[in-house]
Chains A and B, each alone.
Chain A
Amino acid sequence: MRALRSLAPVIAGLMLLLTYFLVQGATPDAALHERTLDAMQQLILNDAALQRDVLRARTGLLRNYDPLVRSVENMRDAAARLQTADHLASGPMQREIQRRIQAVDAAVRDQDSLVDTFKSSNALLQNSLNYLGHLLARIGVGSTRDPVDTEIGALANVLLGFVQDPRSDAAAGLAATLDRLERLQVSGDRQQTVPTLLSHGRLVAAALPQMEGLLARLQAAPIRDRTLDLQNMYLDFYSRADARAGIFRILLYAVAVALAGYVGYLFFRLRANALSLQNRLNLEKMIVAISAQFINLSRDRINDEIQAGLARVAEHTGVDRAHIVVHRVDAPGIRSSYVWLRPS
């Protein structure tokens, strides 16, 4: 009972240690890890698709905004799924990961807002460019002597240069051409056409440089960089958490091996004790049996039985030779002796 009392704390401590190792050795949630990595990849992938589509939309190669909308929605969805990416860390590290998650989220929101502005501005720009092209094609400048037609022709030329490079001198040229056209007296069917040309021309002149700035901001959006920052930190933490879990799994294995060894040791000790007890029991049974032979034994058979008993003891103990020497207490010398030799 006393031994059990002293053993109880050891057992309890061992159980606690094993439980601790088990908890620490658990692999980080694999499904959540996959979702987190997928969200990061979605962010980077959709950001790349968005960047390309914005350029295509700006140049008129992409003529609908559904792909832009889908990319932004996917990024918003991915950013929302990233909110659980801090589950591995704790303390300051967790706060740092949270800060990076918020940075990604803010970048996505900013990009969402910029894309909204881009769509509206680009639609206006494309609307005016389309309409100017349509109008200039329909006008068909005939007489070069007509100053209105001359300026409309000049407008078409300078507009082409401006669209190709809005930062060049073409901007000043476009403004000057529009001003000249505005000052001219118009008549006939040009009375409706020229004001429309002027309106759309001025819109293009104002909107195109703004669009360039907007595009630069869209292209400079830090979504990819911030996502990679977050990803690097997240993967580092995941790697550490996984390595730490691996160490605890090894410790758990070591404890299990030690316990298995100890159990084996206990088994052999138990087996040895059992064998010892069995030998002792056999010896006692033999002694009892030999003793029983001397009960009511006639004197003439005492020597024979002593000899037989000696033989049994010798055979039991496995010796090759055994002697019994009998001394008298009151006289020196040997009174008698018995010898047993193992048959060769």
Chain B
Amino acid sequence: VTGPAINPMRVAPIRQVQGWISRLVIAACVGLLAPAALVAPWAETVDGEPVTPVPAVEALDPVKVELGRRMFHDVRLSRGDRVTCASCHDLARGGDDGHARSAGADGRLLDFNTSTIFNAALNARLNWRGNFRTLREQNEAVLLDPRLMNATWPELLAKLRADAEYRASFKALYGGSPEREYLLDALVTFQRSLLTPDARFDRYLRGEHDTITDDEARGYQLFKAYGCSACHQGANVGGNLFQKFGVFHDPFAERGNVSASDLGRYTITGREDDRKVFRVPSLRNVAVTAPYFHDGSAASLTEAVAIMARSQLGRELPHGDADLVVKFLRTLTGRYQGQFLAARSDGEPR
């Protein structure tokens, strides 16, 4: 400490007493209230289970949510009015686009598989490399990314300001014309509403034991026994930590053609330890968000489970066990607007 020393005698006695009381209150808070800090409203814990139910959607301004929903589906948010957010995040399906990797604005394939937008608000980090902490940061990056929405703020805001309906909505909500902060706030508010509670497994966790079959329950026990729940846990069954893809077996060796995107967080941090490290994806609605992995290389859930067993466990799972785990994973499909999310059919256009 280079600053002047503090002489406690210079502080009036009443101030000293205030200081003691303050410290006492803090000590009491630490001692008595710390357990309460664990129990955030969204972080419901169920008898020590690693997975917790998806919380109900928090109280959000419905007008703001509606404005965000309109913009989410508006092509004017992209350069040349070509794509919307919903082009890659289909809310009528799993909140993704169903492609292994989509074509970017420049026509070339993007580096990563599109993650689902459902329950993204529950993730501690966003994107496969976890390079965004907040939906606001991530939304802005997507809007401005030349390979994604390819917009610029002046162009984008000018288009929205030219629309009388948008002007009225922004004026009513924010007291001004469309601005960067307002636009991002409305988009983020809408995305925070995209939770999918009430999956069959969530109801099982809440005590409705007949909502899943015996096979699905056995699949959950195997999911824990094989250690899958060491990474895939919490309300989002993942999304809250990083992990190396290929702890015991290199999945890229089979696939070949290793690209920069396969290096994961290494391309962000430059640390050797982060080579092939990715954000652990959420398994919520995993049955309706095929294909899987950062490169979309696994077409089916069965295939993905087999690859994970080889890569992260170092062995092949018995077929019966793998099937049971897949059955359990199918119970994680939740509801959006009262309806269970549905997978794409084989012939369905994407």
A contacts, CB < 8 Å to B: 37, 40-41, 44-46, 48-49, 52-53, 61, 63-71, 73-74, 92-93, 95-96, 99, 116, 119-120, 122-124, 126-131, 133-134, 192, 195-196, 199-200, 203, 228, 231-233, 235-236, 239-240, 242-243
20 other A-B residue contacts (CB within 8 Å) besides A70-B37, A133-B225, A196-B313: A45-B30, A63-B233, A64-B233, A64-B235, A64-B240, A65-B124, A67-B43, A74-B37, A120-B241, A120-B242, A127-B247, A127-B313, A128-B227, A131-B227, A134-B225, A134-B227, A203-B248, A228-B23, A232-B6, A235-B19
Smallest beta-carbon distance A88→chain B, Å: 14
A203 nearest CB across to chain B (Å)? 8
Contact B243 A124 (CB under 8 A): yes
B40, B230, B243, B280 — which one has the most chain A CB atoms within 10 A of its CB? B230
B29 near A45 with CB under 8 A, answer yes
Nearest CB to that of A192 among chain B residues? Answer: B315
Instruction: Sample 7 A-B pairs with CB under 8 A, ordered by A number.
Output: A45-B34, A49-B35, A65-B241, A99-B3, A131-B227, A199-B314, A236-B6
Q: Tell me if B2 counts as interface (CB < 8 A to partner A).
A: yes
Q: How far, in angstroms, from A330 to B119 measured CA to CA in the complex?
A: 130
Q: Is the CB of B315 within 8 A of A196?
A: yes
Report B-chain residues with C-beta under 8 Å of the C-beta of A49: 34-35, 37-38
Distance to closest chain A CB from B321 (angstroms):
10
A195 to B313, CA, bound (A): 11
Do the beta carbons of B11 and A236 come within 8 Å of each other? yes
**Residue pair A67, B231 in contact (C-beta under 8 Å):** no
Number of interface residues of B (CB under 8 A): 57
Kindly state the separation between the CA atoms of A99 and B1 in the bound complex, as whole angstroms. Answer: 9
Q: Is B61 an interface residue (CB 8 A)?
A: no
* A96/B1 contact (C-beta < 8 A), A48-B34, A199-B314, A239-B12 known: yes
Contact A195 B314 (CB under 8 A): yes
Give the distance to chain B from A224, nearest Cβ to Cβ, in Å: 8
- B289 contacts A by Cβ under 8 Å: no
Asked if A123 and B51 sit within 8 Å, CB to CB, the answer is no
Across the interface, B313 reaches (CB within 8 A) one of A122, A126, A131, namely: A131
A residues less than 8 Å from B313 (CB atoms): 127, 131, 196
Q: Contact partner of B38 among A53, A99, A195, A239, CB < 8 A?
A: A53
B15 close to chain A: CB less than 8 A: yes
Chain B residues lying within 8 Å of A128, measured Cβ to Cβ, are 227
| B312 interfacial contact with A, CB 8 Å | yes
Q: In the complex, are the beta carbons of A123 and B241 less than 8 A apart?
A: yes
Expressed in whole angstroms, the minimum distance between the Cβ of A43 and any Cβ of chain B is 10
Q: Does B334 sit within 8 A of A, measured CB to CB?
A: no
How far is B52's CA from A53's CA once the two chains are assembled, in angstroms?
A: 16
Known contacts A48-B34, A93-B3, A96-B1; A41 and B26 CB within 8 A of each other: yes
Question: Nearest 7 A-B pairs (CB), nearest first?
Answer: A96-B3, A127-B227, A63-B50, A239-B15, A127-B230, A119-B241, A64-B233
Chain A residues in 8 Å Cβ range of B38: 49, 53, 67
In whole angstroms, how far apart are the Cα atoms of A239 and B22 in the complex? Answer: 13
237-264 of chain B: CB within 8 A of chain A = 240-244, 247-248
CB distance from B257 to the nearest CB of A (A): 26
Q: Which chain B positions have C-beta within 8 A of A95?
A: 3
Within the assembled complex, what's the spacing in Å between the Cα atoms of A235 and B10?
A: 13
A27–B33 CA distance with the chains assembled, in angstroms: 31
Residue in B closest to A43 when the chains form the complex, CB atoms? B26
List residues of chain B with CB within 8 A of the CB of A46. Answer: 37
Interface residues of B (CB under 8 A from A): 1-4, 6, 10-12, 15, 18-19, 22-23, 25-26, 29-30, 33-35, 37-38, 40, 42-43, 45, 48-52, 124, 224-231, 233-235, 240-244, 247-248, 277, 280, 312-316
B243 A123 Cβ-Cβ under 8 A: yes
Q: Are B235 and A66 in contact (CB under 8 A)?
A: yes
What is the interface of chain A mostly: helix, strand, loop, or mixed? helix
Query: Cα distance A63–B225 when bound, in Å?
Result: 13
* A92 touching B3, Cβ below 8 Å: yes
If A45-B34, A63-B229, A196-B315 touch, does A119 touch B22 (CB 8 Å cutoff)?
no
Considering only CB atoms, which chain B residue lies closest to A46 in the complex?
B37
Most buried by A among B10, B227, B228, B280: B227
Q: Is the CB of A120 within 8 A of B19?
A: no
Q: Smallest distance from the beta carbon of A191 to chain B beta carbons, Å?
A: 11
Chain B residues in 8 Å Cβ range of A126: 227, 230
- Interchain CB contact under 8 A, B229 and A66: no
- Contact between A66 and B11, CB atoms less than 8 A apart: no
CB distance from B310 to the nearest CB of A (A): 11
Query: A69, B240: Cβ atoms under 8 Å?
Result: yes
- Chain B residues with CB below 8 A from A96, complex form: 1-4
- In angstroms, how far is the closest chain B Cβ from the Cβ of A205? 14
B266 to chain A, nearest CB (A): 14
Residues of chain A contacted by B26 (CB below 8 angstroms): 40-41, 44-45
The one of A52, A64, A73, A239 that contacts B50, using a Cβ cutoff of 8 Å: A64
Please indicate which of the listed interface residues A71, A130, A195, A231 has the most CB atoms of chain B within 10 Å of its own CB: A130
B105 to chain A, nearest CB (A): 32
A49 to B39 CA separation, bound complex (whole angstroms): 10
- The chain B residue with its CB closest to the CB of A134 is B225
The reply to whether B241 and A45 form a contact with Cβ atoms under 8 Å apart is no
What residue in chain A is nearest B277 (Cβ atoms)?
A: A120
B18 touches A235 (CB 8 A): yes
Contact A63 B49 (CB under 8 A): yes
Q: Given the complex, which residues of A lie within 8 Å of B248, measured CB to CB?
A: 199, 203
A293 to B314 alpha-carbon distance, docked (Å): 138
User: How distant is the Cα of A120 from the Cα of B280 in the complex, in angstroms?
Assistant: 10
* Pair A243/B15 contact, Cβ less than 8 Å: yes
In the complex, which of the residues B2, B11, B30, B241 has the most CB atoms of chain A within 10 Å of its own CB atom? Answer: B241
> When the two chains form their complex, are residues A130 and B225 in contact, meaning their CB atoms are under 8 A apart?
yes
Q: Is the Cβ of A130 less than 8 Å from the Cβ of B224?
A: yes
* Contacting pair A70 B40 (CB below 8 A): yes
Chain B neighbourhood of A196, CB < 8 A: 313-315
A61 to B45, CA, bound (A): 12
Residue from the list B6, B12, B23, B241 in contact with A233, Cβ < 8 A: B6
